A = this chain, B = another copy of it.
Amino acid sequence: MTGDLLIRSVRPWPNSLDVPAVDVLCTDGLVASIGADVDAPPGVPVVDGAGGVLLPSFADVHAHLDSTRLGLPFRPHSAGAGLGELIDNDRRNWRSAERGVAERATHTLGLTIAAGATIVRSHAQVDVDSGLDKLEGVLAAREAHAGRATVQVVAFPQCGILREKGTADLLEAALRAGADLVGGLDPAGYDRDPVRHLDVVFGLAEKHQRGVDVHLHDAGSLGAFQVELICERVAALDMRGKVTISHAFALSSVDAERQRELVDLLAEHDVAVTTVAPGVREPLPLRQLRWAGVRLGLGQDGMRDYWSPYGNGDMLDRAWQLAYRNGFRQDALVEMCVDIATRGGAAVVGRPHGLTEGSPADLVVVPGDTVTAAVMDRAPRTLVVHGGRVVAAGGELV
């Protein structure tokens, strides 16, 4: 599923207005060379980058493809306040969608790819209400877009593990059915027993040799305690590099000294962090995390679902959102957000990524004077390339 390709006329990041455009030759799905006036080997397709900005493709590493209603008639938000009510609201409504999970997830994954993301990690809800239906829908979407994107799927206990009998068995069934990682959800704040919750999660991960991705909305010292519990298990099971904490609001709701300790702990255990750039929560300490070497990625979260009307699959728009929410004006900081949305996310899923020769030819071309200008303009993507093949052009799948 990899190919050869010559992309004419792009300006690779870092770039500026006065640097001439170059060509990029992709061979066997890898970046083979970048330079001026590259000759097209016989039979290699040639596409025009139109002088756009060349970036590594986007990585949406925190999606919920199973709940999306993008492309369906808009439904007013019907949930009350609080996580429990959001969960119940989804249970009341998801079966009445005009299309099944597979069709909805496939549509939204397609939008995500067309907007330039070729690396996606999606959670799929596993619970006693929906069983494996939602997981199977997301797996079907991955299959439908095979060759267009690298997709990881998390078996996600959206309704807790301990609160409803049978969830742990369903999580294990999900791993056997094709899920790549074991998820978790607020082991203390929602599931009420952090140790037993994490023991189930890490027990399954160890047994099936899978990664872990835990939603941790719990903030303050309770969240910080669970960061420690997770890192203790990473050390005990030698799972450095295989665990992600999503949201991690604890990091931005403790004092500076405690924050430094937590960041160091994450770095020491090579635990990754993902954010969705939420509007009201205090932003994560992005620079501190990166300086410490913590892998840090960005995601869409739910996309127009029973949880929230936000989210559109466009990771360039989400990078804008991350920059805006942090008040970044300096180009280097705006571009840091793009780096989080591209290479950062690739590091979260453990995939090499970049514009260097030998990297996977997962690329996106977007109109813009510079990378920062492209973030501000958020124009439709000129080209999206996965494994050396054009998978989208002009904002549409090909």
Contacts and interface: CB of A to CB of B under 8 A. Distances in A.
A305 to B, nearest CB: 11
Interface stretch (A139-147, A206-214, A324-332): A324-332
B321 A76 contact: no
Given A310-B376, A329-B309, A76 B370 contact: yes
Interface string A265-297: 000000000000011100000000000000000
B17 A74 contact: yes
A89 to B, nearest CB: 11
Nearest to A309: B376
Contacts of A330: 77
Nearest to A370: B74
A304 interface: yes
A103 interface: no
Contacts of A279: 324-327
A73 interface: yes
A77 B331 contact: yes
A373 interface: yes
A368 B74 CA distance: 9
Nearest to A377: B312
A376 B329 contact: no
Chain A interface size range: 20 to 34
Interface string A365-388: 000111011001100000000000
A373 B331 CA distance: 32
B17 A372 contact: no
A133 to B, nearest CB: 25
A7 interface: no
Contacts of A369: 73-74
B73 A17 contact: yes
A269 B154 CA distance: 56
A280 B312 contact: no
Contacts of A324: 279, 310, 321
A17 B72 CA distance: 12
Contacts of A334: 309
A254 interface: no
A397 interface: no
A79 interface: yes
Interface in A225-262: none
Interface string A301-332: 00010011110100000000100111101110
Interface centre among A309, A330, A369, A373 (most CB of B within 10 A): A309
Given A309-B376, A376-B304, A376-B312, A327 B280 contact: yes
A79 B376 contact: no
Interface in A45-95: 73-74, 76-77, 79
Nearest to A330: B77
23 contacts: A17-B74, A73-B369, A74-B368, A74-B369, A74-B372, A74-B376, A77-B330, A77-B331, A77-B372, A79-B329, A279-B325, A279-B327, A280-B327, A307-B329, A308-B329, A309-B329, A309-B331, A309-B373, A310-B329, A310-B376, A312-B376, A312-B377, A325-B325
State the 9 A-B residue pairs at the shortest beta-carbon distance, nearest first: A280-B327, A74-B373, A74-B369, A279-B324, A76-B331, A279-B327, A77-B329, A279-B325, A77-B330
Given A280-B327, A309-B372, 18 more contacts: A17-B73, A17-B74, A74-B372, A74-B373, A76-B370, A77-B329, A77-B331, A79-B329, A279-B325, A280-B325, A307-B329, A309-B329, A309-B331, A309-B373, A309-B376, A310-B329, A310-B376, A321-B324
